[in-house]
Chains A and B, each alone.
Chain A
Amino acid sequence: MKDSKSVLVVGGGIAGIQASLDAADRGFKVYLVEKTPSIGGRMAQLDKTFPTMDCSICILAPKMAECYRHSNITLLTYSEVQDAKGSIGNFEVAVLKKARHVKEDKCVGCGICTEKCPVKVPNEFEMGLADRKAIYMPFPQAVPRLTTIDEENCLFFQKGTCRVCEKLCEAGAIDFDEKPEEIVLNVDAIILATGFDVFNPKAITAYGYGKYKNVITAMELERLICASGPTDGYILRPSDGKEPESVVFIQCVGSRDQRYNPYCSSICCKYAIKDAVLIREHHPEIDTYVFYIDLRAFGKGFQEFANRSKEEYGINYIRSNPGEIREDPITQDLTIWYEDTLTRTIKPLTVGLVVLCTASIPRPDNKKLSELIGVELDDLGFFRASHDIDHPVDLTVPGVYGCGFCLGPRVGDIPHSVMQAGAAVARMSEELAGMEEA
């Protein structure tokens, strides 16, 4: 194979990162396009990861750094695909590099600008549990390691005043005049790795998410238990900052529900077990309950892990799907009526914190990409494989592949995302090599 072959990878989560590294190691010239200011995706937000219970960012950060250093990889963060034409061996893709107003070659990531910027907005990385500034680095291990000005919230862009960051930056990295830039790339193949969004449980009004402060999502909990998160890893209730006496996980919120998402999201049982164990490790005094319909602890070592979580960590599993949560307006404790379907008892349980294990859903981005590139989506909005058994990582246009959660909830965990990344790169190499021989 000639070493001039090139690939566009869209999405810088674990799947896109792994695909980029694998392709780059094989000699491909890789363009990794990520729409947010940093690569990392969901995995960067997680605390520990099943199945090994390793620190998530500790595994991910070296891979992110390698992407940055690798001579075959060009990182295009804060960028989006605008247009695409051509076919396998010859795609022409237009990428829009949004203006971050901080020069990549000057910023040293010292953080002085962020410290002094007067504007506070909810921090997306911390799932809104903390604030960030209008000029910010999304998280400490961000790659590339530089700040970005968020035009929508910056005083200068909105009202024409301030420019504090510019005055304080010793490196002279701030550039208010920077314009978005369109880059046209010629690539032989495309790998899509746009990952997933989290279902907003506000739709299920009876659970009171958004109304009751102590009802949170699992993604929010990941930040709460993370030592570098907004509460330094302590489980504290959003309502009063106190430690709850008990925590409940509710499974299948918006998954396996004909009105929202009919499919099983495939990861939430496993991460609930993981998170329940983490809570008991940090705070053995907190009682934990998991309300499940079927505990889908499939895969290597998971049933054993589930069993241990019961026996060693004392987690209470209740086979039930509660229909409503009510808040005590004074204590802000939450009461859940439930039927234990195994004993047929019906009773209320009052707890301090409820974690909703919400469905993983397709990113809205998939639609635009499918229109630009011509690949099909399935009925749910994930990318459709050209054949689910024979070619599970090939998409419906030759030369375009997928990996990670954007293929839908097959087994949407990190190990499988990594495997699919490898598979996508292997299929790409195989098909491009086949073209050369022909």
Chain B
Amino acid sequence: MSKSEDTESRTHDSSHDTKLMHIVAHTPRGKGILDCIQCGRCTSSCPMARQTSRYNPRRLMEMITIGLKEEVLSNTPWYCLSCFTCVDKCPQGADVGEVIFAIRNIAAREGHIPPGIKAQGGNIIDTGKISNPTKSILKQRQEMGLPEIEPSDTEELLKILRKTGFDKIIGHK
């Protein structure tokens, strides 16, 4: 256990952002934070928490409540598999698996985005898809008699994504 973790629940120093919980609660998908009773059923069932002690969804909810913004917005939420096991189990409908998206949305606006996810965002703007076929795949499709892949209407998509501010979030030029 790190030093900061050791003292956090007792002290009220400047690293505690007491507004965090309210910001999360008002973010789409984030209102569950208000219902959590810290029962631990999510972590008890979470497949990711069994792989690494760095990830603990109940603890994440606790950290949001306490206002440990740094930890909450850093790489912690990106461990989640979005497998929604916790959502099925949560007795209070607090649904950590959903709240994670609220946190990630906030993190993204503050510039914390893992490179792989940022690349997905860039691909969508550029091609309308997150994964595109290689030349050899295109050849194989022909060989198998599969229909051609239509290009997406990237102009239309750019209109949408400019309107929502998506391009700015991922720093796309």
When the two chains form their complex, are residues B91 and A346 in contact, meaning their CB atoms are under 8 A apart? no
Min C-beta distance of A19 to chain B, whole Å: 35
When the two chains form their complex, are residues B53 and A258 in contact, meaning their CB atoms are under 8 A apart? no
Cβ-based interface call for A341 (8 A) = yes
A323-B53 contact in complex given A252-B91, A256-B91, A339-B40, C-beta closer than 8 Å: no
Min C-beta distance of B54 to chain A, whole Å: 11
Q: Chain A residues with Cβ under 8 A from B37's Cβ?
A: 256, 293
Q: How far is the CA of A192 from the CA of B50 in the complex (A)?
A: 50
> Which of B41-49, B152-160, B161-169 lies on the face that meets chain A?
B41-49
When the two chains form their complex, are residues B89 and A346 in contact, meaning their CB atoms are under 8 A apart? no
Min C-beta distance of A339 to chain B, whole Å: 4
We find that the number of chain B residues with CB closer than 8 angstroms to chain A is 20
When the two chains form their complex, are residues B56 and A257 in contact, meaning their CB atoms are under 8 A apart? no
When the two chains form their complex, are residues A258 and B38 in contact, meaning their CB atoms are under 8 A apart? no
Q: How far is the CA of A340 from the CA of B50 in the complex (A)?
A: 13
Q: How far is the CA of A300 from the CA of B44 in the complex (A)?
A: 33
A319-B40 contact in complex given A339-B49, A339-B56, C-beta closer than 8 Å: yes
A337-B91 contact in complex given A321-B40, A323-B42, C-beta closer than 8 Å: no
Across the two chains, which residue of chain A brings its CB closest to B56? A344
We find that the number of chain A residues with CB closer than 8 angstroms to chain B is 20
Q: How far is the CA of A323 from the CA of B56 in the complex (A)?
A: 14
When the two chains form their complex, are residues B89 and A320 in contact, meaning their CB atoms are under 8 A apart? no
Q: Is the interface of B mostly helix, strand, loop or mixed?
A: loop
- Report B33-72 residues with CB < 8 Å from chain A CB: 37-45, 49-50, 53, 56, 58-59
- Report B91-123 residues with CB < 8 Å from chain A CB: 91-93
When the two chains form their complex, are residues B41 and A323 in contact, meaning their CB atoms are under 8 A apart? yes
Q: How far is the CA of A310 from the CA of B114 in the complex (A)?
A: 47
Partner pick for A339 among B58, B85, B92, B93, CB 8 A cutoff: B58
Q: Chain A residues with Cβ under 8 A from B91's Cβ?
A: 252, 256-259, 321
When the two chains form their complex, are residues A320 and B59 in contact, meaning their CB atoms are under 8 A apart? no
Min C-beta distance of A291 to chain B, whole Å: 9
Write out, one digit per residue, whether chain A residues 255-273 have a CB within 8 A of any chain B CB (1) or not (0): 0111100000000000000
Q: Chain A residues with Cβ under 8 A from B43's Cβ?
A: 339, 341, 346
Across the two chains, which residue of chain A brings its CB closest to B93? A258
When the two chains form their complex, are residues A323 and B93 in contact, meaning their CB atoms are under 8 A apart? no
A339-B89 contact in complex given A321-B39, A346-B50, A346-B56, C-beta closer than 8 Å: no
Q: Chain B residues with Cβ under 8 A from A341's Cβ?
A: 38-40, 43, 58
Q: Chain B residues with Cβ under 8 A from A322's Cβ?
A: 41, 44-45
Partner pick for A338 among B40, B53, B89, CB 8 A cutoff: B40
When the two chains form their complex, are residues A337 and B45 in contact, meaning their CB atoms are under 8 A apart? yes
Across the two chains, which residue of chain B brings its CB closest to A319? B40
When the two chains form their complex, are residues A344 and B59 in contact, meaning their CB atoms are under 8 A apart? yes
Cβ-based interface call for A115 (8 A) = no
Q: Chain B residues with Cβ under 8 A from A338's Cβ?
A: 40, 44
Those 8 A-B pairs whose CB atoms lie nearest each other, nearest first: A323-B45, A257-B91, A321-B39, A339-B43, A321-B41, A341-B40, A323-B89, A293-B39
Q: Hey, which bits of chain A sit against chain B, CB under 8 A?
A: 206, 252, 256-259, 293, 319-324, 337-341, 344, 346
Beyond A259-B93, A321-B91, A324-B44: 10 further Cβ-contacts under 8 Å?
Answer: A252-B39, A256-B91, A293-B38, A293-B39, A321-B39, A323-B41, A339-B40, A339-B49, A341-B39, A344-B53
